[in-house]
């Protein structure tokens, strides 16, 4: 039985040499063809990577442009708002002084309330400490309760 790809024994050494030479040439052609295919595939992959890089770069550029446009739009809007505020302030400065003084009074009132609340908490703590101090144990009772705790230990 013959195995595929198996060489037949040849009696003539020249014929054997010619077959071997043909096999080497065929192998060299196959390797050359495989290398060409590989190089072609690598160039396709490289071109695909380059295309993806350029697409990503373009997307980043567009995002940056959109961000710059949004930023400049916001700056224009803020400038218009500031200009309107300044114009209104020039026309009626007493209104803004009144608003400023009112806000300052509100802040002062808020600060006073916080201070008052803090003082109240301190007073409550002092009162609680005063009440607890009347329940404290005297020296003699403390020593006896410590010795009782040492002598009569309860297992956990």
Where do the structural domains in the chain lie, given as residue ranges?
Answer: 14-91, 93-149
Q: In whole angstroms, give the CA distance from residue 121 to residue 116.
A: 9
**pLDDT tens digits for 67-106?**
999 999 999 999 999 998 888 877 877 777 788 888 999 9
Residue 133 pLDDT > 80: no
pLDDT category of residue 149 using cuts at 50, 70 and 90:
confident
Do 16 and 10 touch, CB atoms closer than 8 A?
A: yes
Residue 108's pLDDT band, with cuts at 50, 70 and 90, is very high
Dihedrals phi, psi of 6, to nearest 5 degrees? -80, 140
What percent of the chain lies above the pLDDT cut of 90?
A: 58
Please give the DSSP secondary-structure letter assigned to residue 4. Answer: T
Whether the CB-CB separation of 7 and 19 falls below 8 Å is answered with yes
| pLDDT tens column, 33-78 | 999 999 999 999 999 999 999 999 999 999 999 999 999 999 999 9
Total-model pTM? 0.40
pLDDT of residue 32: 97
Alpha carbon dihedral 119, 120, 122, 127, in 10-degree steps, equals 140
- State residue 135's pLDDT score: 67
Alpha-carbon distance 61 to 117, whole Å?
56
Mean pLDDT of 25-40: 97
């Amino acid at each position: 039985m013959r195995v595929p790809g198996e060489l037949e024994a040849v009696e003539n050494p020249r014929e054997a040499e010619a077959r071997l030479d043909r096999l080497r040439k065929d192998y060299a052609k196959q390797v050359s063809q495989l290398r060409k295919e590989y190089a072609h595939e690598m160039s396709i992959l490289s071109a695909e990577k380059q295309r993806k890089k350029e697409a990503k770069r373009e997307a980043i550029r567009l995002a940056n442009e959109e961000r710059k446009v949004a930023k400049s739009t916001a700056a224009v809007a803020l400038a218009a708002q500031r200009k309107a505020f300044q114009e209104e302030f020039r026309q009626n400065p007493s209104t803004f002084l009144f608003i400023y003084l009112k806000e300052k009074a509100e802040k002062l009132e808020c600060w006073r309330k916080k201070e008052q609340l803090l003082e109240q908490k301190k007073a409550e703590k002092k009162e609680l400490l005063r009440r607890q101090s009347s329940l404290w144990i005297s020296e003699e009772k403390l020593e006896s309760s410590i010795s009782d705790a040492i002598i009569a230990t309860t297992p956990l």
